[in-house]
Amino acid sequence: MNLRDLRYIVAVADLGHFGRAAAACHVSQPTLSGQILKLEEELGVGIFERVGKSIATTAAGEQILDHARRAIAAADDLLACAKARRDPMVGPLRLGVIPTLGPYLTPFILPRAREAMPATPLLLVEDLTARLIEPVVSGRLDAAIIASDPETDALESMALFDEPFFLVLPEDHPLSRSACVDAAEIDPHRLLLLADGHCLRDQALDLCQHPDLGEDAMADMRATSLQTLLQMAAAGYGMTLAPSLALSTHAGCRAVSLRAGWAGRMRRAACVSSRARPIRAGPRSRRSRSLFEGASQKMLWRRRNNPDAFTYATATGRRAASRATATD
């Protein structure tokens, strides 16, 4: 048994296919299959069940894979530790980001990353919060940028910035002429939501004081993209709640502020990392923290000095956002 064999079985489990796992491991399929058979013989239990072209993990295999992942993570940590002692800024920074932040925050992060960390390529993984937490805990990701409580003591959190929510409406909606709105003015049955699993969906329902409304709120109009929700709102299919960063790239609808003092009218973006591998510690992690904080400060400067770029998703607001970009 060796780490190579453990990587083979993890690849098969993750990809669900021997051929794709072999390609990912840069070996031929017969080589990979043969090594896995040898490992199963050595352990005395089957790891996978092969039924035609389908692959299923056995009960024993699930336990073996758990141990394999921990062993691989420990070995990778050992190598990373040795590399960091030689040069802490060499090697990729594996960063997760949620879909409702990624498209809007990465334009601030990526240019700064290339400048600040030329020998540290930034590897981005965009996914839902629930699917980013475990990779950060296990070390497969160095950190993740999320906008909700990770709900685990295994992670530490570094606040990046707060951004307000806006009610996004068609331009001809009566509320679009309001300076600000209250929760009672929002029709929950016209509220467009993201699909289950997005933290922004839960935040929107909590914000409207209807946390249990999920099944009744425009159930046949759910989307997996915030941009899709904005397009649907612009087309008159309903209204939605969106954070300010998302509003600088969309035209055709009106974004109205939520009344001051409304609980939950802001969301906080934070960078989370494993307490066992904290993003705050070490030269590389300090550079990473500087990257996140610098990008956040630049974003907040743009929003403070160009409020229209982040307040109104109209053609005028879009031109304001373009001017803000040109003058940075």
Q: Is the pLDDT reported for residue 315 higher than 50? A: no
Average pLDDT score over the chain: 77
Lowest-pLDDT choice from 92-96, 138-142, 256-260: 256-260
**Strand-pair partners of 48:** 57
Query: What value does the mean pLDDT take over residues 178-188?
Result: 80
Joined tokens for residue 105: 């925050």
The better pLDDT of the pair 91, 37 is held by 37
* Non-local CB neighbours of 68 within 8 Å, separated by 6+ positions: 6, 9, 10
pLDDT at 32 (0 to 100): 94
Mean pLDDT over 78-98 rounds to 75
Neighbours of 195 (CB within 10 A): 11
Query: One-letter amino acid identity for 110?
Result: L
* Mean pLDDT for the stretch of residues 204-217: 59
- Give pLDDT tens digits for 221-241: 566 788 888 888 888 888 888
- Inform me whether the pLDDT recorded for 125 exceeds 60: yes
Segment (H or E) for 300:
helix 282-305
Q: What are the chain's domains? A: 3-85 (1.10.10.10), 92-328 (3.40.190.290)
Q: Compute the average pLDDT of residues 161-188.
A: 82
Q: Is the pLDDT of residue 255 over 50?
A: yes
* pLDDT at site 320: 32
Average pLDDT over residues 197-203: 73
pLDDT in tens, 162-172: 888 888 888 88
DSSP lists the bridge partners of residue 157 as 272
Q: Is residue 95's pLDDT more than 70?
A: yes
Residue 29 confidence (pLDDT): 92
> What string of DSSP letters covers 18-52?
HHHHHHHTTS-HHHHHHHHHHHHHHHTS-SEEEET
- Say if residue 77's pLDDT is above 70: yes
Residue 11 has pLDDT above 80, yes or no: yes
Return the H-helix or E-strand segment holding 77: helix 59-86
Q: Greater confidence, 176 or 218?
A: 176
